[in-house]
Amino acid sequence: MTLWERIQAILTEARERTLGAVMEAMEARRRRRDAAIFSIALIALSAKMAKADGIVTADEVRAFGTFFAYPPEEEAKVRLVFQMAQQDTAGFETYARQVGRLFAGEDAVLEDVLDCLFYVALADGVAHPEEMRLLEVAAEAFALQGGVWRRVKAAHVGADKEDPFVILGLEPDADEPAIKAAYRKLARANHPDALIARGVPPELFRIAEHRMAAINTAYERALAGA
């Protein structure tokens, strides 16, 4: 089955046409490394994020299609999940915590989700305070450590004021061998093969490329200060 056929299967399994029912159907499949589960979770949270500042702009909807390219014939499925998420009365945090449970113990997957949410939040070129707050809520709901939050944030809003050692997940007194080891670990985690293994759709590989740019900057700065 293709990714979109698997997405349709999950939507069909849902007892009702509500986001809650769809999330329950995903829970039943949570032991599988399925890109369809990742995709629906991402679409749902993206819709909630897009609504955070009170309105859903065309730029925000378009932004999702920019970093998650989908065939024109599959747009109806994406819009269906978007609409369910926007109409659902439960808040962003409720579903962020459910996504956190779906991928519990898979920090790399949750970092991928958080990274994508930054794209949606900043699609209109404005770091709206409520959207930034929800991004922090997501990081907390996903139980991601401070270094992950700062690494993803640096990829989107700049690393000038970020501590390169924190971005690399190191203590400030880390020596050169430790810096290089941390860098190699992060580079492996963002390789396309690693993303495939954790169920990330190929359409989203560009998020890893973007994140690696921030990691490379932190690596260079950390070496210079070691």
Give the three-class secondary structure for 213: helix
- Residue for token digits 């070129």? 125
pLDDT tens-place string over residues 19-33: 888 888 887 776 556
Does 136 map to a domain? Answer: no
Residue 75 lies in a domain: yes
Q: What is the pTM of this model?
A: 0.76
On whether residue 184 sits in a domain, the answer given is no
Task: Assess whether pLDDT exceeds 80 at residue 149.
Answer: yes
What pLDDT does residue 176 have? Answer: 94
In a domain, 62, yes or no: yes
Domain residues for the domain of 21 are 1-105
Domain membership of residue 176 (yes or no) is no
Domain count across the chain: 1
> Which amino acid is residue 95, in one-letter code?
Y
Determine the average pLDDT of the residues in 57-74: 72
